[in-house]
Amino acid sequence: MMRAAAAFAVVLLFVGHARGQQRNAHWPLPPANWLHFTEDGAQAGAWMPATLVRPVSASISSPTGELQIYGVGNYIYEGVTGTVIASANGSSWPSYNSSGPSSIFCPWPGDDERIAGFARRSSFNNSEARLMSFSFQRNAPIGTWELEAGSEQELNDSAMSVLTAVAHANGMDYWILSHGHSGNTFLAYRLTAQGVDTTPVISQTGPALPMANDTYISLNRLGSLVASYHGTQLALANVSTDSSLVIRSDLFQFDASTGVVSFYSSLPIRSRGNYGMEFSPDGTKLYQMHRAWVPDVGWTVTLRQFDVTSQDVGQIAASAVLVRTELYPPEYHIPGQALHMASGPDGRIYLIWDGENSLAVINEPNAPGEACDFVLDQVQLPDTLATALPNQCKRYHDSELPVGVPAVQNTREQLAVWPVPTDGVLHVRTPRPGQVRIADALGRTVATQLTGDNSTAYVDLSLSAPGAYAVQWLAPGSPPVCHWVVKR
């Protein structure tokens, strides 16, 4: 039901305040899920997007875990109200987004009332790929965020879709890292208390990407640039430099004091299919997943682990361990945007694997081989699959990576709604005190009711028009939980 209902233009509030959370505590998972990290573990839930958008995601939370701003596709949303504060139509965000992580947010050094945003804006045929920067200000009287007028500026007119951020070694600033549209040029822009230095540190290193041509125009939208938690290593994946157009992965060192990037190794080329990469939290392992089409057989999705403690090409290649491979028949539909990987604030790595309503998890990513504890369907998502994981800076000066976070939990199991579909009275059972809110397909509140511990609310919809309704439970200290129901 959620797949059909996601087409409605509806907004739910992102609320919830939890203890001891981090800058990456909230993960919007387009088109209609979220993942929320607390001291008690990670919880998955459903939400209603404001619009159907392409699967590019980025987000940032406060040091205490409150969602501040999140981006999905061409739209930027205010975290508290869920309202659009920047969009492509307003010429303030990418006019055409790409399949890679093409936007990212960072705290403004020394100013808790501002956030810096960065995004790649490309033309329809990708002939122009501009790296832009923006700033967002908090409206102190009401506590919400808004785009700062006149803050848009162009940093570069030829950038790949990939973006990542690394904490500066001085303990205050940040580096925003991009790569040229072609060639072997890395660009490191420094974000300081005064703003973005528009003159980047340029490093020409590693294999050169080919110039754009009729074939490469679409393929150069692909890309993955990931940094290790401590910011000392980078991994870049993109189309190979030769005519085979296979996916290649290259490894680099990064100096967080100077902004200089230096190449040291390439991983073995595995496939022409989609891919994803991520470092373990301690930086000793790099995970590479890829999808490939085997004629008359089907799709294979494969996850490998590499030990990158040495900088020797041969040793890194020889360290490859096959963690998991799955074969799917030709008729099985795997969405094209699948195969994302991202490190969580709990020290785990989360993966979009096969287009199902779940996330795979690497529970012990620092451990070698099978000891990394890969679980294919560990996080069950309500109602719909996830098409993207948020692009985030891994390490912030005001927020360190916690340890010892408990296992993932499924929030939706805590909320029971019946009968579905309903002809009249809807029963909503909640585990803790809070508020039940019923909204129609346009986001308008139809009914609200307070609930207690392990109590059941009875909401009469007999006079409501037939159609889809959202049942939202709001409780202090928790993110919203949502169910879709149908009134006959």
Taking only the tens place, the pLDDT of each residue in 180-229 is 877 889 999 999 999 999 999 999 999 887 665 544 444 444 568 899 99
Instruction: Give the pairing type, strands 75-78 and 434-439.
Output: unpaired
Given a cut of 80, whether residue 405 has pLDDT beyond it is no
**Residue 293: strand pairing partners:** 299
In the chain, DSSP finds a helix count (H) and a strand count (E) of: 3, 37
Helix (H) or strand (E) holding 4: helix 2-5
Task: Give the pLDDT of residue 207.
Answer: 84
- How far, in Å, CA of 488 to CA of 476, rounded? 32
Most confident option among 13-27, 159-173, 183-197, 354-368: 183-197
Given a cut of 70, whether residue 347 has pLDDT beyond it is yes
How does pLDDT run across 20-39, given as a tens digit for each residue? 347 898 888 887 788 888 77
Task: Give the pLDDT of residue 350.
Answer: 94
For 354, the 3-state DSSP assignment is coil
- How far, in Å, CA of 403 to CA of 338, rounded? 28
Task: Give the pLDDT of residue 19.
Answer: 32
Given a cut of 50, whether residue 407 has pLDDT beyond it is no
Sheet (strand 261-266) strand order:
224-227, 233-239, 247-254, 261-266
Q: Spelled out in words, what is the top-level CATH class assigned to the domain 2-409?
A: mainly beta
Which residues have CB under 8 Å from 301's CB, separation 6+? 289, 290, 291, 325, 326, 328, 334, 339, 353, 354
433: number of CA atoms within 13 Å, CB side? 1
In this structure, whether the domain defined by 415-487 belongs to CATH 2.60.40.3080 is answered with: yes
Domain ranges of the chain: 2-409, 415-487
Characterize 365-376 residue by residue with b for buried, 16 or more Cβ atoms within 10 angstroms of its Cβ, and e for exposed: bebeeeebebbb
Higher-scoring residue by pLDDT: 90, 344? 344
What 8-state DSSP symbol labels residue 212? P
For 63, the token pair is 């040091």
pLDDT band at 18 (very low <50, low <70, confident <90, very high): very low
**Start-to-end C-alpha separation, the chain:** 14
What 8-state DSSP symbol labels residue 412? G
Given a cut of 80, whether residue 315 has pLDDT beyond it is yes
Minimum mean pLDDT range among 58-72, 105-119, 274-288, 436-450: 436-450
Given a cut of 90, whether residue 307 has pLDDT beyond it is yes
Given a cut of 80, whether residue 149 has pLDDT beyond it is yes
Minimum mean pLDDT range among 83-87, 130-134, 248-252: 83-87
pLDDT band at 334 (very low <50, low <70, confident <90, very high): low
Instruction: Give the pairing type, strands 183-192 and 57-61.
Output: unpaired
Q: pTM, whole model, 2 decimals?
A: 0.77
pLDDT band at 2 (very low <50, low <70, confident <90, very high): very low
Given a cut of 70, whether residue 79 has pLDDT beyond it is yes
For 24, the 3-state DSSP assignment is coil
Helix (H) or strand (E) holding 227: strand 224-227
